[in-house]
């Protein structure tokens, strides 16, 4: 395909996208999610036309179809201290840090862990933070998560950082389930990091 032909087809695709975008803005929530998938597929086709790589076009189109999740508002997590550092050390045998920050995800669960499309679940994670005395028993902790299904990332959060005291903490992450979400098992991969230390765990919930 010569460059002029590619440009012509790209222009036509941009016209199509321009036509679709205003209509998506006036749709209700469920229609917007479907519209996002249409735009994703169109973007995939555009990629294929420009690059001549059908595989690349399909990959972008699949990612766009997942915008049914990406279009959902990602709510800020809440975090609270649930144990003192002494209680945390007794409960988990988490030795005090001497010269570096230690962070450990102890357990996580979804509540509810079985729900229907259009409902909301909350991901709870319990973690321990140990900080050297030289840092006044506090450190910056960065929280982020990814939502996956069948090994593919559907959506992910922006990292959120907060200053936390050395202690046991709990994070609470609400997740809205789109009305057009497919049934099956979903995996939430949570990552906590502080300096060079980090830990990752996975929590599951099922959409019926």
Question: How large is the average pLDDT for residues 79-105?
Answer: 90
What's the rounded mean pLDDT across residues 155-162?
Answer: 92
Instruction: State how many domains the chain has.
Output: 2
Shared domain for 88 and 173, answered yes or no, is yes
Containing structural domain, residue 64: 3-70
Shared domain for 118 and 63, answered yes or no, is no
Boundary (domain end) residue, out of 70, 105, 128: 70
Task: Look at 107 and 36; give whichever has higher pLDDT.
Answer: 107
* 26 and 120 belong to one structural domain: no
pLDDT, one tens digit per residue, over 40-56 is 444 444 444 444 444 44
pLDDT of residue 94: 75
Q: What whole-number distance in Å separates Cα of residue 199 and Cα of residue 23?
A: 43
Please give the mean pLDDT across all residues of the chain: 77
Task: Check whether residue 87 and residue 63 sit in a common domain.
Answer: no
For residue 71, is pLDDT > 70? no
Which residue, 70, 94, 112, sits at the end of a domain? Answer: 70
Are 93 and 196 in the same domain? yes
> Is the pTM of the predicted complex or chain greater than 0.75?
no
| Residue 83 and residue 7 share a domain | no
Of 51, 70, 89, the residue that ends a domain is 70
Q: Is the pLDDT of residue 11 over 90?
A: no
pLDDT at 10: 47
Does residue 188 register a pLDDT over 80?
Answer: yes
Assign 99 a pLDDT band (cuts: 50, 70, 90): confident
Both tokens of 163, joined, read: 């200053």
| SS3 of the chain | CCHHHHHHHHHHHHHHHHHHHHHHHCCCHHHHHHHHHHHHHHHHHHHHHHHCCHHHHHHHHHHHHCHHHHCCCCCCCEEEEEECHHHHHHHHCCCCCCCCCEEEEEEEEEECCEECCCCEEEEEEEEEEECCHHHCCEEEEEEEEEEEECCEEEEECCCEEEEEECEEEEEEEEEECCCCCCCEEEEEEEEEEECCEEEEEEEEEEEC
Does residue 99 sit in the same domain as residue 193?
A: yes
Query: Which of these ranges, 6-10, 78-82, 120-124, has the smallest mean pLDDT?
Result: 6-10
Mean pLDDT (whole number) for 103-122? 96
Sequence-separated (6 or more) residues with CB below 8 Å from residue 25: none
Residues 29 and 108 in one domain: no
């Amino acid at each position: 395909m010569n460059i002029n032909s590619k440009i012509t087809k790209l222009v036509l695709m941009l016209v199509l996208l321009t036509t679709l975008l205003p209509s998506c803005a006036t749709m209700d929530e469920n229609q917007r999610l479907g519209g996002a998938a249409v735009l994703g597929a169109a973007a995939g086709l555009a990629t294929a036309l420009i690059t001549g790589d059908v595989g690349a076009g399909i990959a972008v189109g699949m990612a766009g179809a997942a915008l049914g999740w990406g279009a959902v508002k990602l709510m800020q997590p809440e975090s609270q201290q649930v144990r003192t550092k002494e209680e945390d050390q007794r409960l988990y045998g988490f030795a005090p840090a001497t010269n570096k920050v230690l962070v450990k995800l102890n357990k996580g669960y979804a509540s509810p862990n079985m729900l229907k499309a259009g409902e909301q679940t909350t991901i709870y994670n319990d973690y321990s933070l140990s900080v050297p005395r030289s840092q006044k028993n506090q450190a910056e902790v960065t929280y982020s998560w990814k939502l996956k299904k069948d090994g593919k990332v559907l959506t992910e959060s922006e990292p959120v950082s907060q200053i936390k005291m050395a202690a046991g903490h709990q994070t609470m992450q609400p997740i809205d389930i789109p009305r057009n979400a497919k049934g099956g098992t979903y995996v939430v991969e949570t990552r906590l990091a502080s300096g060079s230390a980090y830990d990752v765990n996975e929590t599951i919930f099922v959409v019926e």
